[in-house]
A and B are shown apart, each in its own frame.
Chain A
Amino acid sequence: MEVKDANAALLSNFEVFQLLTDLKQQRKESGKNKQSSGQQNLNTIMYETLKYISKTPCRYQSPETVRDFLIAMKGHKLTKAEKLQLLNHRPVTAVEIQLMVEESEERLTEEQIESLLQTVTSILPGDPEEQQRDLAMATDDKGDQA
């Protein structure tokens, strides 16, 4: 066996999630006539990886949201690795942005960090229950003020 290129491309968690769910679907459809002895490793790794990725924000993403996100990120001048981390983690606080973007104090002003956070939270879908809860809390506050 030969490794031609150990770094041909970076994959986002969402792409791996899609690939594994499609593979799982395929294997379910093709029935259980394959010998499962050799497949145990594949089953294990698929199950564990799917379990892990399902707990990240990637499960709410779709190819369109990823495309929109990358188009929106063009203006911010971030490296590929930084954009990938933002896509995988969906940070909501400035501290998280500082972790993922190198030298963020020198490259981004506070307003730019705010606008980055806004772009991330608006384009990438988060947990729908959490978002509903936040909305409910916001309308409650408005009710109290009025």
Chain B
Amino acid sequence: MFVLVEMTDTVRIPPWQFERKLNESIAEELNKKLANKVVYNVGLCICLYDITKLEDSYIFPGDGASHTKVHFRYVVFHPFLDEILIGQIKSCSQDGVHVSIGFFDDIVIPPESLQQPAKFDEAEQVWVWEYETEEGAHDLYMDIGEEIRFRVVDETFVDTSPTGPSSAEASTSNTTEEVQKKEAPYTLVGSISEPGLGLLSWWTNS
């Protein structure tokens, strides 16, 4: 679920923090910059693992702060393809089941990847697995808050860095529907169409 990512960056330490140990100031700055943020094509950054190398600190004319190039390793949430994860059902809608892991919410299981046959119950706004046995069909509801085991089948990274004013024309031609200003930078697509996947309560023996 988690990977270690090696990165480098130049960290700026303002003069009023010079009395603190350099390592601590740098660790704090890096965490301030990256924790709980998504890095494009890398994943959701959790926290700093360690600092591997500190290069010389420089002070540039006009700015009293020191600039240090840092090589460090960061803990990043980036599940690999086909990994099994356990999450909680956050909500259900026509475009599938939305699952959350607490610290990461943008996981969706599209209708075609649910245990088949499945139907969407409009009254309760939940997806239902119509499980057939010899006795008849059981309706297994996928209620909100239930723990669900799913497989990661796809991930999408969207570059949400701001576009300049010159590309305003380009952006209006890209989005034909209403602009969704808050597009999730990192989304996962899951699947529960295999035996063993789905609500944990469906597969426990006891």
Using a CB–CB distance below 8 Å, which chain A residues touch chain B?
1-13, 15-16, 19-20, 23, 34, 38-39, 41-42, 44-46, 48-49, 51-52, 56, 81, 85, 88-89, 93, 95-96, 98-100, 102
Contacts and interface: CB of A to CB of B under 8 A. Distances in A.
Nearest to A130: B206
Interface of B: 1-9, 28, 31-32, 35-37, 39, 41-43, 46-47, 49, 71, 73, 75-78, 80, 82-84, 86, 101-103, 149, 151, 194-197, 203, 205
B28 to A, nearest CB: 7
A42 B47 contact: yes
Contacts of B3: 6-11
Contacts of B151: 99
A1 B7 CA distance: 7
A37 to B, nearest CB: 9
Given A10-B3, A41-B37, A85-B83, A49 B8 contact: no
Contacts of B71: 4
B79 to A, nearest CB: 10
Nearest to B82: A102
A89 B84 contact: yes
Residue with the highest number of chain B CB atoms closer than 10 Å, among A9, A23, A45: A45
A8 B73 contact: yes
A11 B80 CA distance: 12
5 nearest A-B residue pairs (beta carbon): A48-B103, A45-B36, A95-B196, A42-B35, A41-B36
A99 B194 CA distance: 8
B83 A41 contact: no
Contacts of A42: 31-32, 35-36, 47
What is the predominant secondary structure among interface residues of chain A facing chain B? helix
Given A2-B8, A85-B83, A85-B84, A19 B47 contact: yes
A5 B31 contact: no
Contact of B49 (A19, A95, A96): A19
19 contacts: A1-B8, A1-B9, A2-B8, A3-B6, A6-B41, A6-B43, A8-B6, A10-B2, A10-B4, A11-B3, A11-B75, A12-B2, A39-B32, A41-B36, A42-B31, A81-B80, A89-B86, A95-B195, A96-B196
Contact of A23 (B39, B47, B203): B47
A23 B35 CA distance: 13
A2 B83 CA distance: 27
Contacts of A10: 2-4, 80
Contacts of A85: 83-84
B103 A49 contact: yes
Contacts of A39: 28, 31-32
Nearest to B29: A38
Contact of A8 (B4, B31, B77): B4
Contacts of B36: 41-42, 44-45
Contacts of A7: 3, 5
A49 B6 CA distance: 21
